[in-house]
A and B are shown apart, each in its own frame.
Chain A
Amino acid sequence: MAEVKYAEVTYEDIEEICEEFSNREGAVVQILQKVQEKYGYVPADALEFVGEVLEIPKSKMYGVLTFYSQFYQEPRGKFVLKVCVGTACHVRGAGLLVDKIKEELHIEPGENTEDMLFTLEPVACLGSCALAPMAMVQGTAYGKLSADKMVSLIRQFEEEAEKEQEPV
């Protein structure tokens, strides 16, 4: 079982990220997005450093971070299963997909599997309603899913991860 790995963050790393934004006024959200892009989540230290660099109080930084649902304070799985639960997907059985993932991977929405391979994240509309029910994993959209197809997708990702593990 893989342990949850927390990122090590230095003040200099964060300074470098903030440097990219010349007009820092109002760039807090974008800077946090960059931080998350780099570490996969927003580590507590990083949040503090960003606040120091931009001279914004900790309380306010925390306020912004927690307001937006796409910021994560904990590391997440390699494959984030973003299952669309928007209207069209809902009426076409998105709930069954979520249930199947719960059953298959023993995780609740928002949780990671113990091996840190998967995270289940039901999301509001991904805007591909004609392909309902659909899901997005690592930026790729999968349409017209069923519970069975979801399982084979999971198997496919597991195999992919295993292959990467094998020494070349």
Chain B
Amino acid sequence: MLTEALEDTPVNSGMQTDLPVIYIGMATCGLASGARGLLDLIKKEVEKRQLNVQIVPTGCIGMCHNEPLVDVKMPGKFRVSYKNVKPMTLTQIFESHFGKNDFAKKYAICQIPVEGSDPYEGLALMSDLPFFKGQVKIVTRRCGMIDPLSIEDYIAMDGYKALKKALTTMTPEEVVEQVTKSGLRGRGGGGFPTGLKWSLTQKSPGPEKYVVCNADEGDPGAFMDRSVLEGDPHAVLEGMIIAAYAVGGARKGYIYCRAEYPLAIRHLKKAIDDAKSRNFLGDKILGTDLSFDIEIKEGAGAYVCGEETALLASIMGERGMPWPKPPFPAQKGVWGKPSVINNVETLGNIGHIILNGGDWYASYGSEKTKGTKTFALTGSIKNSGLIEVPAGTPLREIIYSIGGGMVEKKIPFKAAQLGGPSGGCIPVDGLDTPVDFENVVAAGAIMGSGGIVVMDEAACIVDTAKFFLKFTQDESCGECTPCRVGSKIMLDILTRITEGKGQEGDLDELVRLSMYVKSNSLCGLGGAAPNPVLSTIRYFREEYEAHIRDKRCPGTVCNDLIKYVVIEEDCTTCGLCEPVCPSGSVTWEKGEVAHIDLTTCIRCKACVDACKFRAII
């Protein structure tokens, strides 16, 4: 079981040891790529060779496309990273390090500097890899580097130093001042200045206050918060404890985490227990007057609970429906008391800001969006994974330098979807958009919580818009009519268009409805639901029109509009397409151009995928 995956693995610190250390990436991505079996093999190999080494499971370093990842750190040497490790390569890695006192050149991707140690010759540094070159790691600094289940590891990398500093040398007002100075804005997508939020909660009257961490990361295509929770859970706790102090002594905190993240919840539970045993949580924290405790609340499958007021309702055991603001949570939150709600990534930044100062954080980023932002880079891109870049980094750099470009070299970039169901698509012309709150909005999308899904020419824009609208329509809580009914009618129109039944005037009607739903919905979910439709109509009107007028889907995605044909000039008569057809609709004779019988074709796309010459469209 995934939730028990780390049960019997050692939890000793890998940070301060003279022994050789073997690190293995065991976040969800690693586990799904077979890290569990690999760990068993490593243990066997260690036993066989009678080695005295430490095995340290780590979180996600961001190179999800290279999982499973195994690192080896020999005493006095830099740490070497190996990608896509298979049982066969493992033996060679062991042989190189423990037999020949070298590294396995064939499989290594890079080396990570370790203080007081020497580099290997002929191996790139991690910071020189294109994937890492443009990145600045603040909130993900420890992810993949430490054992997330070890509080010792966390402390060895400056953990809980900021808490000590805040509690013993700063007043709550000074803490808020530093956070304000840093320019940090809500990383869940709202972009509200965190310092202001804290100061509002601080000024709200009453002794009873709450700190809430929003870990209900629901946007499809986004996993930044999961990676931080799995890879560095203490950082989130530390941020919450500092918040509790800053808002004037909150006694209780909640982490609302979606149930789809079992490993994150497990790591958080362990982190809370360890923090309690060292008095970073509990009564009279570090001997001060602050007493603070944290409880985890698991979500139960409702996207709208990522909206802050809906989340509060859910914490209190109600249906997770939003309430109109004001009152804002800073005035009336959990149990009607002033509450500060911050997202995982926002809280993960706090420790670094307190430790290094607000000005230091503000030195990164663009004019209005300070600091860094994490993004989950996915879709038809070569290096998919988790990245952290200074706010304002151009989209082109993210996709081409860090992301390595398209996964299929021959199929060009079409659009990047930013901000999930509340966001929009940015086309080729917008590749130079600096990715920060303001510029992305101007381009018709939102930065959102940080999901970037890259689409190539084989994707259908109308289908994508329909996908997101279907998502919000499913997740609409039903409280207000514009969202509940408006999104349904819009979805009906889009469905009709993808089925080849689109009519003239459909686009105007979609835009009209969009504006109505946008301006009249109660909460952010409804208010942003039309964004994917509006942005795609803005940039890809012709593609909609092709569906409506020509009954044609240029991306060959919409099943009802697909008519597969073999392009005679491109067909090499290789016959690869014939055997893969499950319905026997492809006929081919040796030396002849293949033919597709559309009356029996089930549009499964198997022949298109099988054709290496793109001769079937």
**Chain A interface residues toward B at CB < 8 A:** 25-30, 32-33, 63-64, 67-71, 85-88, 90-92, 96, 123-132, 134, 136, 138-143
Contacts and interface: CB of A to CB of B under 8 A. Distances in A.
Interface in B315-333: 315-321
Interface string B23-44: 0000011011100000000000
A141 B259 contact: no
B64 A124 contact: no
Given A87-B417, A90-B467, A130-B64, A71 B300 contact: yes
B428 to A, nearest CB: 17
The 7 closest A-B pairs by CB, nearest first: A130-B64, A86-B220, A70-B301, A68-B300, A141-B32, A87-B221, A28-B317
A63 B459 CA distance: 39
A126 B221 CA distance: 9
Q: Name which of A27, A86, A131 has the most chain B CB atoms within 10 A of its CB.
A: A86
B451 interface: yes
A96 B318 contact: no
30 contacts: A26-B316, A28-B318, A67-B321, A68-B299, A69-B302, A85-B220, A87-B220, A87-B453, A87-B467, A88-B453, A90-B467, A91-B380, A91-B453, A91-B455, A96-B604, A124-B475, A125-B221, A125-B223, A129-B223, A129-B378, A130-B65, A130-B67, A130-B385, A131-B32, A131-B67, A139-B1, A139-B262, A141-B28, A143-B32, A143-B33
B319 A63 contact: yes
Contacts of A138: 1
Given A27-B317, A67-B319, A87-B420, 6 more contacts: A68-B320, A91-B380, A124-B471, A126-B28, A140-B31, A143-B29
Contact of B384 (A85, A126, A129, A136): A129
Contacts of A27: 317
A143 B84 CA distance: 14
A139 B2 contact: yes
Contacts of A64: 317-319
Contact of B32 (A68, A91, A128): A128
A140 B451 CA distance: 23
B162 interface: no
Interface string B399-437: 000000000000000000100100000000000000000
Contacts of B384: 88, 129-130
A142 B32 contact: yes
B3 interface: yes
B218 interface: yes
Contacts of B604: 96
B314 interface: yes
A71 B29 CA distance: 26
A27 B33 CA distance: 36
Contacts of A69: 300-302
A107 to B, nearest CB: 19
Interface string B453-494: 101000100001001100100010100000000000000000
Contacts of B33: 131, 143
Nearest to B295: A23
Interface string B286-314: 00000000000111111100000000001
B31 A67 contact: no
B189 interface: no
A14 B571 CA distance: 67
A150 B455 CA distance: 24
Given A68-B302, A96-B604, A129 B221 contact: yes
B260 interface: yes
Given A68-B300, A131-B32, A86 B262 contact: no
Interface in B237-279: 259-262
B297 A29 contact: yes
A70 B379 CA distance: 27
Contacts of B1: 138-140
